[in-house]
């Protein structure tokens, strides 16, 4: 799994038996400590070694380095969960059709890092989360599953995001487990696109 924060979705995966073999992060974060407690290998490929968090960031170099580490460990499926770095082509070339992402909106609406804020400011009455096959394009790629989350008048960004995360912690492990089962049967994840689950 590729994560950048607290690792709550990673924890939810482990709790339901999804076999996570590696947690990789782009910065030091709680997910590394969590992986240690859960007995899962962890790896920090730090953005600061590639220019940090500004316009000097070497996205291609960073992606090549991270991809090398994943390939060296025999990773078969990559699941991103709150990973704060947009990755370049090398990752998708190494894992074609095998990079999953979860996003806190009903894509294609509200792409990008501030999706929850955008949903609130737009005046829509519902949003949700989407699990999709990631591509080089930001928050794009075939949708595998979605679930709706209502927006209440009293919601702020924090309260709405937390309700979306509760749904993500159930939906994402379910979809990852389903994708892993399909890979075990020789079925590529791309064939699952369009089988959208909405609730």
**H-helix or E-strand spanning residue 5:** none
Kindly report whether the global pTM for this prediction surpasses the value 0.75: yes
Considering only CA atoms, which of 50, 68, 48 is closest in space to residue 59?
A: 50
Is residue 59 helix, strand or coil?
helix
Asked if residue 32 lies in contact with residue 42, where contact means CB atoms within 8 angstroms, the answer is yes
Domains of the chain plus CATH, in order, are: 1-95 (3.40.50.170), 102-199 (3.40.50.170)
Quick: pLDDT tens for 88-129: 999 999 999 999 999 999 999 999 989 999 999 999 999 999
pLDDT tens-digit map of 129-146? 999 999 999 999 999 999
Question: Where are the alpha helices (H) located in 105-156, listed in sequence order?
Answer: 115-122
Tens of pLDDT, residues 8-25: 999 999 999 999 999 999
Which residues are known to be catalytic? 103
Average pLDDT, the chain: 94
E strand map for the chain: 2-3, 22-25, 41-44, 78-81, 99-103, 126-133, 143-150
């Amino acid at each position: 799994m590729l994560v950048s924060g607290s690792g709550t979705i990673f924890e939810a995966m482990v709790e339901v038996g999804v076999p996570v073999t590696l947690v990789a992060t782009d910065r030091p974060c709680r997910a590394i400590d969590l992986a240690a407690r859960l007995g899962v290998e962890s790896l920090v490929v730090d953005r600061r070694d590639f220019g940090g968090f500004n316009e000097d960031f070497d996205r291609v170099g960073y992606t090549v380095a991270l991809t090398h580490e994943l390939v060296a460990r025999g990773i078969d499926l990559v699941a991103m969960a709150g990973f704060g770095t947009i990755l370049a082509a090398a990752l998708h070339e190494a894992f074609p059709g095998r990079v999953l992402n979860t996003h806190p909106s009903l894509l294609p609406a509200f792409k990008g890092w501030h999706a929850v804020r955008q949903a609130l400011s737009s005046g829509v009455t519902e949003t949700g989360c989407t699990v999709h096959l990631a591509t080089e394009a930001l928050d794009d790629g075939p949708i595998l599953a979605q679930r709706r989350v209502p927006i209440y008048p009293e919601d702020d960004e924090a309260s709405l995001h937390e309700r979306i995360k509760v749904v993500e912690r159930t939906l994402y492990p379910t979809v990852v487990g389903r994708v892993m089962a399909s890979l075990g049967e020789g079925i590529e994840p791309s064939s699952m696109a369009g089988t959208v689950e909405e609730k």
